[in-house]
A and B are shown apart, each in its own frame.
Chain A
C-alpha cells in the first residue's frame, strides 16, 4: 500500500555510466517532484511535473532528465554520472490546491546513489 514508491532503493555504479530511478504514486496526486539530499542532509528541489508537464526546473545539469509518462509516474534519468551525483534522491507527490489548504508533499523512501 506504499503511497510513493521508488526503485531502486540503492544504486552503486561507476563514473560515466547512465542510470535511471523510477517513481510511482498511487495517491491520485497531480504533481510530482524530485529532490536531492546531499551528505549533509540538505534537501534541494530539482524538478516538478504537474499532469505530465514540467513546471519547476531548477539549475540542474542537463545530464539529469526527468520523464513523466503519466501523472502517476516520474522517472529520473542521469547520463554520464559524476562523483558529485552521489546523494539520496527523493521522489514526492502532492495535490495542488488540495482540501487541506496547503500543498502537502508525500515523499518516497529515497534512492541512495553512490558513484565510484
Chain B
C-alpha cells in the first residue's frame, strides 16, 4: 500500500540554521506530494506541493523537490526562524483514491 516515511523528531535548531527534514514515499503510480505544517494549537496548512517528477514546490523560503528516482521529497530551508517552530507533515495522494496519507510528522523547534 501507499505510505510516507519521514525523519523522527524533534529537530532542534538555532535561528538562521539550515533545515532538512527527510521524507520518502512508497506509492503505486504517480502520486502528488505535499508538505503540511501545523503550528501549535492550530490545524494543518498546506506549505507546498509538487505533482510530478522533478517539480519543485516552494513557499515562505521552504523548498522540496519531487525525486522519483529516490522516491523522496525532502523539505529544506536555508535559514530558519523562531516562527518556523511547528510540526511538519509529509503527505501523498496517489491514483484515484483521493486519500491523503500522512507521514508521522516531525517537530521542529527553533531557538533564538
User: Which of A12-20, A41-49, A70-78 contacts the other chain?
Assistant: A41-49
Q: How many chain A residues touch the partner (CB < 8 A)?
A: 28
Interfacial residues, chain A to chain B (CB-CB below 8 A):
4, 31, 33, 40-45, 48, 50, 55-56, 90, 92, 94, 96, 100-110
Given A43-B89, A45-B99, A96-B98, are A104 and B46 neighbors across the interface (CB < 8 Å)?
A: yes
How far is it, in angstroms, between the C-alpha of A35 and the C-alpha of B44 when the chains are bound?
Answer: 11
A94 contacts which chain B residues (CB < 8 A)? 98
B43/A103 in contact, CB under 8 A: no
Asked if A101 and B46 make an inter-chain contact with CB atoms under 8 angstroms apart, the answer reads: no
In Å, the complex CA distance between A42 and B107 comes to 12
CB interface residues, B 4-50, toward A, < 8 Å = 32, 34, 36, 38, 42-46, 49
| Chain A positions within 8 Å of B104 at CB level | 40-42
> What is the CB-to-nearest-CB distance from B48 to chain A, in angstroms, rounded to a whole number?
11
The SS class assigned to the B binding surface is: strand
**With A and B bound together, what is the CA distance between A33 and B95 in angstroms?**
17
Q: Which residues of chain A are near B98, meaning CB under 8 Å?
A: 31, 48, 50, 55-56, 94, 96, 103
- Interface of B toward A, CB cutoff 8 Å: 32, 34, 36, 38, 42-46, 49, 51, 87, 89, 93, 97-102, 104-105, 107
Are A41 and B105 in contact, CB atoms less than 8 angstroms apart? yes
Nearest opposing residue in chain B for A56, CB measure: B99
